[in-house]
Chain A
Amino acid sequence: MQNETGISKEALFSVMTDVFDSMLQVGIQESNGSANGDASGRISLASVSITGGWSGVVFMQCPYELASELGQEMFKCDAATITAADIQDAMGELINMVGGNVKAQMPGPSSLSLPNVVQGCEFSWKVPGGREVQRVHSKCKDKDLVVLVIQDTKQ
C-alpha cells in the first residue's frame, strides 16, 4: 500500500532486495524483528539525506557483526583482514544505493547527500523535524537489518 511518502513498504523492500542481490548476491527476508546489536551490543547505522522535491533521511541499521560480514562479501576478504574503515565504507555504499533508489521514487528533482556511518553501542539519534514514514524489518544472514525512511516535516 502506497502511503504519503511516495514509497510503499513493498517498494522499499524491493529496493533493499535489489541492492543486496546485485551487489552481494545475498538474499534478505522480511521479518518482524528489530535491529538489535551483536553479542557485544554494537550497531552499525548508515544514513543518507535527500533534499529537494521530497526531503528526508534514509537509515539502515544492523548489528556490527552483519555489517562486517557484508563488508567481507563486498571486499572479498575475511574477518581477519577487514578493517573498521572498510566496514564503514561498505555500509556507506549500501545506504548510498538504497537511498538513491528511494530518491528515485519520491517527487523530484532532488539531491542525495554523501553517506554517514556511525558504529557503536547504546547511542541514540534524532532528526529534528523528522517523522518516520516507512520502515522495513528484514533478516540478512539470519541477522536483523532495518531500513527506515524519515520525512522532513518542515517541507
Chain B
Amino acid sequence: MKVLVVDDSRVMRVIVGRTLREMGHDVLEAGDGQEALLRLQENGDIGMAMVDWNMPVMNGIDFLRAMRSDSRYTAIQVMMVTTETEMGQVQLALQAGANSYVTKPFTPDVIQEKLRSMGL
C-alpha cells in the first residue's frame, strides 16, 4: 500500500517511514497539510495517511477536514500521530474523520499493531 506520512519534522518522517517500509509499504512524504493535499492530487493510489497535528502552514486537523470534504479521498484511512494527548483533541480528530490515533512517543511495535488492527 502507498502511505503518505505528513509531519513537519524530517526525523519523524524518517522514523515512521522506516517502520512502514519494514512492513512492505511504499512511503510518500509531506512536510505540512498543504503539501499533503498536493501529494494526494498527484498520487491517486494513496491508501493511508499518517498525520501529525502541529505543523506550520496547514496543521493536521485542517488537512484532515480538507481531505474529508473531498469525495475523492473518502476511502483513505487516516492515523493521527501526534503529541496531542488530551481527550478533547482525540475526540476532535475522530470527529474530523481520523480512523486511528497514536500518541508520541511510540515504538515501531505500536505503529505496526495499530496498522494491523486496521487491517493494513
Contact = CB atoms under 8 A, between A and B. Distances in A.
A and B together in one complex? yes
Interface of A: 18-19, 21-23, 71, 74-76, 86, 89-90, 92-93, 96-97, 99-101, 103-104, 108-110, 112-114
Given A112-B84, A114-B54, A22 B11 contact: no
Given A23-B105, A74-B14, A86-B11, A97 B54 contact: no
A108 B14 CA distance: 31
A50 B9 CA distance: 19
A92 B86 contact: no
B contacts with A: majority SS: loop
B12 interface: yes
B11 A74 contact: yes
A19 B8 contact: no
Contact of A100 (B55, B83, B107): B83
A89 to B, nearest CB: 5
B24 interface: no
B66 interface: no
B15 interface: yes
16 contacts: A23-B15, A74-B15, A75-B14, A89-B9, A96-B54, A96-B104, A97-B105, A100-B85, A103-B86, A104-B85, A108-B88, A110-B86, A112-B84, A114-B54, A114-B55, A114-B56
B9 A93 contact: yes
B56 A100 contact: no
Given A99-B83, A112-B54, A114-B54, A22 B106 contact: yes
B18 interface: yes
Contacts of A76: 14, 18
B10 interface: yes
Contacts of A110: 86
Nearest to B83: A100
A104 B90 CA distance: 12
Given A19-B105, A100-B83, A100-B104, 9 more contacts: A22-B106, A23-B106, A74-B15, A76-B18, A89-B9, A89-B11, A93-B12, A100-B82, A103-B86
